[in-house]
Amino acid sequence: MTVHSGTIIEAAKDLLKEFGYFVDSLWHVKDVHFICEQHGLQKISDEEAMQVFMIAKEQFDGEVGISWPQLDQAVRTYVQKKTVLNSVHESDPV
* pLDDT tens digits, 33-89: 999 999 999 999 999 999 999 999 888 777 878 889 999 999 999 999 998 988 887
- For every residue of 27-73, DSSP letters joined together read --HHHHHHHHHHTTPPP--HHHHHHHHHHHHHT--TTT-S-HHHHHH
- pLDDT tier, 19 (very low <50, low <70, confident <90, very high otherwise): very high
* pLDDT tens digits, 4-14: 888 999 999 99
